Amino acid sequence: MKGPRMAAPPRKRYLGAEQHRALQLLASSPFGATEAIMLAHSFTRRMMASLSSAGLATARGKTVKVGDNAIAVGRVRITDAGRRAVAD
């Protein structure tokens, strides 16, 4: 009979230079950054999605009404795990 399995210790994540730069930008703002700001800094949607799926950032969207128009606004924020990854 086998006993209970021990959880593996968390692996240290390797961050590429662009991912590290993105997390630094997010860490510098208490409210995160809009998707437009991230794109203006040359970060791709794919890279932002990879940070989110790795648990290093969160992305949320909402619709804002401006006059008669409704526009979608996305905001990206760093997580505690992302702050730890930048600090390493």
Q: Tell me how long the chain is.
A: 88
CA pseudo-torsion sign 71, 54, 16, 20: positive
The total number of structural domains in the chain stands at 1
* pTM of the full structure: 0.78
Q: For the purposes of burial, counting CB atoms within 10 Å of the CB of 85, is it exposed (0-12), middle (13-18) or buried (19 or more)? A: buried
For 6-25, letters b (16+ CB in 10 Å) and e give eeeeeeeeebeeebeebbeb
Looking at residue 55, which CATH number applies to its domain? 1.10.10
SS3 28: coil
In a domain, 5, yes or no: no
In a domain, 83, yes or no: yes
In a domain, 78, yes or no: yes
pLDDT tens per residue, range 24-80: 999 999 899 999 999 999 999 999 999 999 999 999 999 989 899 999 989 999 999
In a domain, 60, yes or no: yes
Q: Which domain holds residue 66?
A: 17-87
